[in-house]
Amino acid sequence: MKQITPVQLAEWLQDESRPAPFLLDVREPSEFAYCAIPGSVLMPMASVPARAQELPDDVEIVVICHHGGRSMQVAMFLERQGFAGLINLAGGVAQWAQQVDPAMPQY
């Protein structure tokens, strides 16, 4: 399973020469409402098995959660379902707030 740091993801998102990844946030709605990486799409972890067909298959998917544990579990699940191009955001939104966007609320 590939992993990416928040700084690497921020650089990727700013690089117009690279296709942007799909940002899949697997936290709960209340967590997502509190803070989220711009452009990310909410699909709570428990809903992923029923909604996996909604995910794109033509771009890389960066899976996001609070610290990186749930997102790793979802990425491994999706990989077993045949998805390719899955990347876990190491440290999740917590590290994003610390390393990329200090103005982002933390919990």
Catalytic option among 9, 23, 65, 93: 65
Neighbours of 30 (CB within 10 A): 8
Whether 35 sits among the annotated catalytic residues: the reply is no
Neighbours of 56 (CB within 10 A): 13
Angle formed by the axes of helices 6-14 and 92-99, to 10°? 70
Residues with catalytic function: 65
